Amino acid sequence: MLEILMPGMDGLETLEKIKRIRPDRVVIVLTGQGSLESAVEASRPGAYDYLEKPSTPEEVHLRIQKAVEHQGVKQKLEDIESMVGDDFKDVVGKSPAIAEVFALVRRVAPTNSTILITGKTGTGKELIASSPMRCHRRRDTKYKQAETRLHRSLWSR
């Protein structure tokens, strides 16, 4: 937490220095002089949240808890992205769901198991199917693609 009005140095200057040195640091700005302008000013250099005084201990605790959770989620996503590397360069997406798919592919890649990938047309099944081959020892092997289609007449009866 960082007070905007501090003796010797402006809180926003301090925030800018913190973000320059540690851009990943989560900072909550606290002020007794709350205004929309100061909230916008605090968000520009990267304040995570903005809290006006006086605040209840419960409100301060809640904001800190949310900031810690945010930092944890952000770190997990960065960890997953660093694990993924270029193995999934053809797959577009950064959501937690696709990150989970990447993690699963990395887990099964070193095994000799057969992998069944299902999904709707156009969802990137082929891109994911080729990913284990690039991720591990399967890199130099070919994968077999099996396509199944049921004729519409089966469903029209």
Residue 74 shares a structural domain with residue 89: no
User: Which CATH number does the domain housing residue 24 bear?
Assistant: 3.40.50.2300
Residue 110 shares a structural domain with residue 60: no
Residue 15 shares a structural domain with residue 67: yes
pLDDT tens-digit map of 100-109: 888 888 787 7
pLDDT tens-digit map of 135-154: 555 555 666 666 555 544 44
Report yes or no on 46 lying in a domain: yes
Could you write out the three-class secondary structure of the chain?
Answer: CEECCCCCCCHHHHHHHHHHHCCCCCCEEEECCCCHHHHHHHHCCCCCEEEECCCCHHHHHHHHHHHHHHHHHHHHHHHHHHHHHHHHCCCCCCCHHHHHHHHHHHHHCCCCCCCCCCCCCCCCHHHHHHHHHHHCHHHHCCCCCCCCCCCHHHHHC
pLDDT tens-digit map of 22-33: 888 899 988 887
Residue-level pLDDT at 65: 95
Residue 27 shares a structural domain with residue 60: yes
Residue 92 shares a structural domain with residue 111: yes
Section 36-45 average pLDDT:
80
Lowest mean pLDDT among 4-8, 50-54, 57-61, 111-115: 111-115
- Domain that includes residue 37, residue range: 2-78
Given a cut of 60, is residue 61 above it in pLDDT?
A: yes
Report yes or no on 37 lying in a domain: yes
Residue 27 shares a structural domain with residue 57: yes
| Residue that is last in its domain, among 78, 108, 128 | 78
The domain tally of the chain equals: 2
